[in-house]
Structure 1
Amino acid sequence: MSALLNRTVTVIGAGIGGLTAALALASRGARVTVMERAPELGDVGAGIQLSANAVRVLDALGAGSALHAAARRTDAVQLNDAHGRRVLRMDLRAHRPDAPFLLIHRPRLIALLANAARQAGVIVELGRTVLDPVGTLTIAADGLRSSHRAALNGQQVPFFTGQTAWRALIPDPGSAPEAQVFMAPRRHLVSYPLPGGLRNIVAVEERPDWQDEGWSHPGDPDRLRANFAGMGGPVPGWLAQVDRTHLWGLFRHPVASRWHDDRLALLGDAAHPTLPFLAQGAGMAIEDAWTLAACLDAIADQPRALARYQALRHPRVTRIVEAANANARNYHFGGVMRFGAHSVLRLADRFAPSLMPGRFDWLYDFDPMAQRP
């Protein structure tokens, strides 16, 4: 498999998906240039969860040692009710002892991917806006507002979910390495510690007004505290420390029906934006990167290679997006539905602790390296 050897490829976007794609392509011998419109690399100072399916790919691309040094392994995910009482604890180490789930500060992940890509020979050009495909092969990893997605699929109007998410970072000198979810009627809050003494907070509420998409809209910390004042456990202490927050409206987008033409391919959010309720936006982009490079390397005919890439990826990302949509509802139950759902989860927690982690074996045990291009 050497169809990529010395081929010239342009990647648009130096986010997680674009940089992983550049690394995957360069590792197979391609000459890759990444063009990023921002004047410097970086991202909103947020946390990110990388599940085993994504970590598996980065290990295979040689970025594993840097990743594990910069990240923190998470032991568990615990679901709690609004008062902070345990509903269900999913022990990730016990269920998958050899498949790490990692917590990392997003800018650190961007930096280590950029470093790995440059070491593989990738050229990264900043302050470059690309509106049209470049050369014979262009990979558009330019996010949910991708103009290249629109060029392939036409303009599409996303559906507002009626939910708005708040994001914040606070100091956290030494908490247990696990993700905590607090579920209340019409709202929930997710939090986990990050390396470097930080804690990531994402709080989602249903509200009649809405905000634009994107993570960079500043919010009012006092309103965040007021809107989530009814939550117990450690939540009030966490929110008391928030001095800066951002918020954004959550919209559902369809998975693109067309991912490519003869010389352009979509990757990551440009092809399949997702809600943040399964922590798989970055994971899907990382998987895309491996599969795209493998198809282009194995199939010399470029249109056939790009068609095979979409055929392999489309069913999986559609299932993930649908699962994330379902979680958006499940976290916000009220009344009888909430009582029934929490009762079932508490029974599973007590009598069948491996049941809930096992429901997502299809997601976390997936290995794109085992697929035949």
Structure 2
Amino acid sequence: MKALIVGGGIGGLSTAIALRLRGWDVSVFEQAPALTEVGAGLQISPNGWHVLEALRVSAHMTRTLFEPEAIEMRLGVSGRQVFSLPMKGYAAQRWGAPYIHIHRVDLVDALVERLNELLPDAVQTGLGVSGYDPDGAVVFTDGSRASGDLVVGADGLHSAVRQQMLGPDKPRYTGNIAWRAVVPVDELDRPPPPTACVWAGDRRHAVTTRLRAGTLANFVGMVEESEPAPEGWRIEGSRDDAMAAFDGWHPIVAGLIAKAPVLNRWALFDRTPLPRWHEGQVTLLGDAAHPMLPSMAQGAVQALEDAWTLAAVLDEAASVEAGLQRYFDLRIDRTARIQAGSAANARMFHKATPLGSIAFYGPMAIGARIVPRLIHARQDWVYRHDVTQAV
């Protein structure tokens, strides 16, 4: 069986590995001239780590990952800690796998290394896909074609595969723009804590993490704005604009912005859950199927879950079409719930006006200190889920 995978990101590469482990021939078509990723950090929760272990990718990541001491929330201006929940060691104890940070580039490199072990030269760059035939063929932008038994549209928010399948539409602007930057820790006067830290503010929030075994500091800032910025991870923004967006914030946040060699800025879009993800022998995966805000750190992880689930159900299905329907049935409720939860988290992180801080975060802080397990338990449905055992 031959799979044609459109998109060489985390979802596409993971799908290629998962299918290859089950005997499929795979080709990955990436429109960019090379598999280069913008500098950005990812949080991989235990539900994602289970997939990386099953794909045997985790061994390629050990030198570059970072395991945070805790997940915490602080107020953006004062830096006052709202709560801190232990993660290092505790995550594996509670959810069966660690919670880690990794540079997106390092994860893509690890996936490519693993795929090359299984099938060298499976990735073909500089090949844009403009459409498909439902019987399992893709049409390239130069008019040429390739045929197979399955087409996977892992081509992101502006998916050409989804547009053909469901018609032209525009993604929904969420009212938020995002800033991203990565800075060497030794260049910072006040580096961020060795945690996954949410800095909550008035109509904005930031997240700081560590990457590359703790040597890099990663910054993500989300700000409510009525007018969207251009959409795209490689669009550089103005340092003055970023400083103004977080004016008066804690020196850790301000220092990251001041020392960032590049500050990328783009608008955040999502879509309501789609009515279907497949047509004939063609299906969607990852952001092409269910784009979500980064406020639960689940975008990449849900693509990993998609990849394993898709390969597993196809291994048991009577036909490709039957397998694609089963894949959709297994994934749609979970991804829709996480999309909604990500949007809800963004609203929660933006309540830190003086009055809102006391009313909203006060009970949360007390609860986290008295019964921290209750806060951890709110994540059980996300982190304990293991698609490698569930299908």
The TM-score bracket by the shorter chain reads: over 0.9
Q: Bigger shift: 235-244 or 274-283?
A: 235-244
CA–CA separation in structure 2 for the residues paired with 1:231 and 1:324: 24
CA–CA separation in structure 2 for the residues paired with 1:224 and 1:331: 18
1:107 match: 105
Residue 175 of structure 1 deviates from its aligned partner by 6.2
Structure 1 unaligned spans of 5+: 1-6
1:177 match: 194
RMSD value over aligned CA atoms? 1.6
Distance 1:148 1:110, change over 3 A: same
Paired residues for 1:326-337 under 5 Å:
326-333=344-351, 334-337=353-356
Paired residues for 1:1-373 under 5 Å:
7-82=1-76, 83-93=78-88, 95-98=90-93, 99-121=97-119, 123-133=122-132, 134=137, 135=147, 136-173=149-186, 176-195=193-212, 197-333=215-351, 334-372=353-391
Q: What TM-score do you get using the length of structure 1 for normalisation?
A: 0.94
Counterpart of 2:59 in structure 1: which amino acid? Answer: S
Contact in 2 for aligned 1:167/1:201 (Cα 8 Å): yes
Counterpart of 2:294 in structure 1: which amino acid? Answer: P
Q: Bigger shift: 115-124 or 55-64?
A: 115-124
Q: Deviations over 1:195-237 (max 9, x none)?
A: 1621110111112332122211110112211221221252222
CA–CA separation in structure 2 for the residues paired with 1:259 and 1:208: 31
How many equivalent pairs are there?
366
CA–CA separation in structure 2 for the residues paired with 1:303 and 1:319: 25
Contact in 2 for aligned 1:73/1:103 (Cα 8 Å): yes
CA–CA separation in structure 1 for the residues paired with 2:262 and 2:64: 24
CA–CA separation in structure 2 for the residues paired with 1:286 and 1:241: 33
Q: Bigger shift: 54-63 or 202-211?
A: 202-211
Q: What TM-score do you get using the length of structure 2 for normalisation?
A: 0.90
Structure 2 unaligned spans of 5+: 138-146
Counterpart of 2:335 in structure 1: which amino acid? Answer: V
Contact in 2 for aligned 1:92/1:357 (Cα 8 Å): no
Classify the secondary structure of the residue corresponding to 2:88.
helix
Q: Deviations over 1:56-115 (max 9, x none)?
A: 111011112112333111221110012100001121236423421111111111111011
Counterpart of 1:37 in structure 2: which amino acid? Answer: Q
Classify the secondary structure of the residue corresponding to 2:209.
strand
1:3 match: none
Q: Bigger shift: 69-78 or 57-66?
A: 69-78
Counterpart of 1:182 in structure 2: which amino acid? Answer: W
Classify the secondary structure of the residue corresponding to 1:32.
strand
Contact in 2 for aligned 1:42/1:111 (Cα 8 Å): no
Q: Bigger shift: 102-111 or 64-73?
A: 64-73
CA–CA separation in structure 1 for the residues paired with 2:90 and 2:336: 25
CA–CA separation in structure 1 for the residues paired with 2:194 and 2:294: 20
Residue 152 of structure 1 deviates from its aligned partner by 1.5
Counterpart of 2:36 in structure 1: which amino acid? Answer: G
Residue 176 of structure 1 deviates from its aligned partner by 4.8
Q: Deviations over 1:304-325 (max 9, x none)?
A: 1110000001011011101001
Contact in 1 for aligned 2:129/2:160 (Cα 8 Å): no
2:142 match: none
Q: Deviations over 1:142-184 (max 9, x none)?
A: 0010011111212233222221111111111486531111111
Contact in 2 for aligned 1:221/1:243 (Cα 8 Å): no
Q: Deviations over 1:7-57 (max 9, x none)?
A: 111111110000000000001100001111111112111111111100111
Counterpart of 1:128 in structure 2: which amino acid? Answer: L
Q: Identity of paired residues, percent?
A: 37
Counterpart of 1:264 in structure 2: which amino acid? Answer: V
CA–CA separation in structure 1 for the residues paired with 2:179 and 2:300: 19
